[in-house]
Amino acid sequence: MLAFLHAVTVIAVAMSLASIAYCVLCIWLARQFRAHCHETASESATQPAVSILKPIKGADPDMYEALRSHCVQNYSDYEILFGITDPDDAAAPLIENLKQEFPERTIHIVRCEKRLGANGKVSSLAQLAKSATYDFLVVSDSDIRVESDYLHKVISELQSPGVGLVTCLYRGTARGTIGSKLEALGISTDFVPGVLAANFIERGIRFGLGSTLAFRKRELDAIGGFEAIVDYLGDDYELGRCIAEKNLRVELSSAVVETHLPAYGFGGFFAHQLRWARTIRASRPLGYAGLLFTFTLPWAVAALLLAQGAVSAWWLVAAALLARGTTAFVTARRVLRDAQTVRWLWLVPLRDFLAVVIWLAGLFGTKIIWRGESFILEKGKLKPCRPPGVHD
């Protein structure tokens, strides 16, 4: 028994040290990312015409400002195509208001009535792509808000040699609930360092983020169009993976975008995080296993308990707190310019211990509730759940 306890203690200490090293790496990568942004900020490039594709389903109080931010771009020639499946969708009047406010912009509503696969969003994108006028395409979720130089940045970066897709980091703007704050905190201090680390360890990321996917029609055609990924839950990940497999780079943009988060209750926060965890497990199983090395504070506290409060274990906890806190501050403040989340850094320990629970829960179960529909997740693909008594 003593030998087993000693072995477990050694594992906890080793994982604590590895997690602290991971934090140090993320701090360095955050500084490198910001330096890279300064280097590329002044680079000029041509401005080819662009089609922005926006699949829409429903509306929320912040949607209009998010959509409006795409209409005030410092960019010469682009169109915005909004895909809706229901003519009575609550977002339709908002789009009509946009057309009235910006008559000089080319804005169209496209009826995407066909259901081409399990992922309704990708089904709409496949139909939007066929309606797009231009070769350069930009896809982003309906809740994404951008700066006025966003389009210029991502299209400039897409024109760099060897780049097949450009994607963006993002920060979350939380509402007043604890669940919403924990979600924003997780994005800024956990998810973003993970993306930077993956970019470094894998010598370039091989996935996209739904905040922005910029690419050309020829790359989309080369992978079989959106139809090739229409049954996947992690469609942004799959699009990036497929393009990367064509020996093209997936580039992290210097542009950082913003999303307004729902007013999650704790249950809503946990359910969303669990769906996200299962998506990562299905799409990137090795990456999911690698998350074990990111649980800095939980590993240090486990080592402290196993070592029965030894002085050296307390030093380890102090080092873990310093490393994790610095990582959280640097990525939130320097990479994302996220002043809001910086005020909530005292919630990081709670967020980190919840992350362990979510990771463990994510190891089990395959049922997904997404956009009001129930699915079974199999090898990253969505299979609709049939009501009891319904058979093929």
pLDDT at 41: 47
Domain extents in the chain: 17-32+285-384, 37-263
CATH C-level class of 37-263: alpha beta
Cα 78 to chain centroid distance, Å, stands at: 25
pLDDT at 371: 67
In whole angstroms, give the CA distance from residue 115 to residue 371: 14
pLDDT at 386: 60
Strand partners, 249: 163
Q: How many CB atoms lie within 10 A of CB 177?
A: 17
CB-side neighbour CA atoms (13 Å) of 296: 27
CB-side neighbour CA atoms (13 Å) of 316: 27
In whole angstroms, give the CA distance from residue 297 to residue 126: 43
Extended strands (E) in the chain: 50-55, 78-84, 106-111, 136-139, 144-145, 163-173, 213-216, 249-260, 367-370, 373-378, 381-384
pLDDT at 40: 57
| Exposed / middle / buried, residue 89 (Cβ in 10 Å: 0-12, 13-18, 19+) | middle
Amino acid at 181: K
The one-digit pLDDT tens for each residue of the chain (392 residues) are 778 887 899 999 999 999 999 999 999 999 998 877 766 544 556 899 999 999 998 888 889 999 999 999 999 999 999 999 998 899 999 999 999 999 999 999 999 988 888 898 999 999 999 999 999 999 999 999 999 999 999 999 999 999 999 999 999 999 889 999 999 999 999 999 999 999 999 888 999 999 999 999 999 999 999 999 999 988 999 999 999 999 999 999 999 999 999 888 988 899 889 988 988 888 888 889 999 999 999 999 999 999 998 999 999 999 999 999 999 999 999 999 998 888 899 999 999 999 999 999 999 887 777 666 788 887 778 887 764 444 44
Of 227, 239, 240, which is closest to residue 123 (Cα–Cα)?
227
> 58-71 in b/e burial notation, b at 16+ Cβ within 10 A?
ebeebbbebbebbb
Q: Is pTM, for the whole model, over 0.85?
A: yes
pLDDT at 26: 97
pLDDT at 368: 76
